[in-house]
Structure 1
Amino acid sequence: MKRTGAASLIVAAVLGGGAGYLFDQLLTSAGRPTFTPQISLPILLVALGVIVVLLALPIRRATQGKADAPVNPFHAVRIAMLAKASSLVGAVFTGVSLGLLLFLLTRPAEPSVGSLGALIGTAVGAVLLLVGGLIAEHLCTIRKDDDDKHPGAGSGAGGVDDSDTGDTDGHYAAH
């Protein structure tokens, strides 16, 4: 599994920003008020970011050799995927909240302080979720071994040197 790249995060944020702006545009063109998230959303986003990092810490301890028991690899993959999803969701929510904020700031009427505060709080909470996801993803990665650069060089299947058997498939030849 590859780590989350900056390009995918930027694309997610841009698409989210366009969706947020378009959503508010559609609401106002239908004569409805603009969308303002509740104050619990930024709190929830920050809490999710903290939880993801806390879930990744035991995996980091195990990869560093500081844990008492080994980590189940399936559990580690699930946490890594959760971290990846958290960073992408954080990018989307950052874009949506910034798109909503951009729409509010480009209107001729002055927006209320409550709307601005909720949108700015949501953007900050989303950025913290994004950062928490990236940190957790970093905590779930292990260092590459020197053998990972040149797989199969000098050894056959299972790490057994089969150069004396004449078999190039990595299996032992019958003598």
Structure 2
Amino acid sequence: MRRTRPSVLIIAAVLGAVVGFGVDQLLTSAGRATFTPSLLLPVLLVLLAAATVLLALPIRRAITGRDRTPVDPFRAVRVAMLAKASSLVGAIMAGLSAGLLAFLLTRPVAPVGSVVAVVTTLVSSLVLLAAALVAEHLCTIRKDDDDEHAEPDGPPEPGLGLSHRD
């Protein structure tokens, strides 16, 4: 499994920002109030961040040898996938919050309550993104010396491997 690429996170954040700005633009053009995230959302994002890191810590201890219990590969993959998904959610929510905030700050009078809710969501999204990337790093297994000498997955190129006549 490959680690999450920064380009994927940047694209997710940009798309989230476009959606956030666009939703508020559509709502106000229809005469409705702007979208304001619930104050429970930042709490849930921070709890998800803490859970992701706490689930990755035992795997890191087993990998580094501090814990004598063997690493359950299925659990390690699940936690790594949770970290990857959490980083995407953090990037999307950070972008969405940034889009909402950009819309609110471009208005002549910004509603203070909405700005506070959007800023707390933005900060908690960034906390989730950082925690998910840390958890993904904690689940990374070091490369063995045997990995460098392993044969490639695909068929050998002509002239480089053994032929049928050898």
Same fold (TM over 0.5): yes
Q: Distance in 1 between matches of 2:112 and 2:107?
A: 14
Deviations 1:53-92 (A, max 9, x none): 0000000001011113112101110000000000010000
Whether the 8 Å contact between 2:104 and 2:111 is mirrored in structure 1 is no
Q: Distance in 2 between matches of 1:28 and 1:112?
A: 13
Any idea what SS the aligned residue of 1:149 has? helix
- Moved segments of 4+, more than 3 Å: none
Q: Equivalent residues in 2 for 1:14-163 (5 A)?
A: 14-108=14-108, 110-152=109-151
Q: Distance in 1 between matches of 2:67 and 2:27?
A: 52
Q: Which amino acid aligns with 1:93?
A: M
Identity of aligned pairs, percent?
61
Q: Which amino acid aligns with 1:19?
A: V
Do residues 2 (structure 1) and 6 (structure 2) align? no
Tell me the matched-pair count. 155
Q: Distance in 1 between matches of 2:56 and 2:84?
A: 12
Deviations 1:92-129 (A, max 9, x none): 00000000000111112x11221111110000000000
Deviation of residue 150 (structure 1)? 2.7
Question: Which structure 1 segments of 5+ residues have no match?
Answer: 154-167, 170-175
Deviations 1:107-155 (A, max 9, x none): 12x11221111110000000000001000000000111122123149xx
Q: Which amino acid aligns with 2:89?
A: V
TM-score by length of 2: 0.89
Deviations 1:1-42 (A, max 9, x none): 100011000000000000000011111111110001111111
Two-structure CA RMSD over aligned residues (Å): 1.7
Q: Distance in 2 between matches of 1:137 and 1:60?
A: 10
Q: Distance in 2 between matches of 1:83 and 1:111?
A: 35
Do residues 12 (structure 1) and 6 (structure 2) align? no
- Tell me: higher relative CO, structure 1 or 2? Use CA pairs within 8 A at least 6 residues apart: 2
Q: Distance in 2 between matches of 1:81 and 1:152?
A: 27
Q: Distance in 2 between matches of 1:150 and 1:9?
A: 32
Any idea what SS the aligned residue of 1:2 has? coil
Deviation of residue 44 (structure 1)? 1.0
